[in-house]
Amino acid sequence: MIDIEFNRDKKTVADLIKLAHHQHIPVILSNHDFQATPDQQTLISRFQQMAARNADIAKIAVMPQNSQDVLTLLTATTIANQKLTIPLISMSMGELGKISRITGPQFGSTLSFATVGRASAPGQLSVEDVRKSFKILN
């Protein structure tokens, strides 16, 4: 798989997706916002745009400023998951967002990211903690 950032030059992204698909490589089209959480409709629209641009999986990671932001992401994920046919990945980052990393599947997020050592994004949990949480919730 290849993970391509959604907010790059549209032609470059389209060319990369086409090249990856030509090589039978699935594409995750992702959007990261390390500053804030967009409103619900913007998040849903981004998921839809990713699907329309031929992503195999659409991924959004945002930074919540408060607990409502986490709920906004989870609600947008639920709605987009009901509308789209491709798998979705979503997560809120940081301390506030940790809950989204373990409850994501209940809201339509296909997978989570966990650490095997040093975190690559704020709020990532260890593989052990994610496994324990998934067992409790599922």
Q: pLDDT-derived band of residue 119, with 50, 70 and 90 as boundaries? A: low
Architecture of domain 2-137: Alpha-Beta Barrel (3.20)
Each domain of the chain, given as residue ranges in start order, spans 2-137
pLDDT tens profile 76-103: 999 999 999 999 999 999 999 989 988 8
pTM of the model: 0.88
- Determine the Cα–Cα distance for residues 122 and 100; give it in Å rounded to an integer: 13
- Determine the Cα–Cα distance for residues 55 and 16; give it in Å rounded to an integer: 11
Residue 27, pLDDT above cutoff 80: yes
CB atoms within 10 A of CB 129: 15
pLDDT tens profile 31-58: 999 999 999 999 999 999 999 999 999 9
Query: In which residue are the tokens 């046919």 written?
Result: 85
Radius of gyration of the chain (CA): 15
Residue 120, pLDDT above cutoff 80: no
Active site residues: 32, 59
**Max avg pLDDT among 63-67, 110-114, 118-122:** 63-67
Contact call for residues 60 and 47 (beta carbons, < 8 A): yes
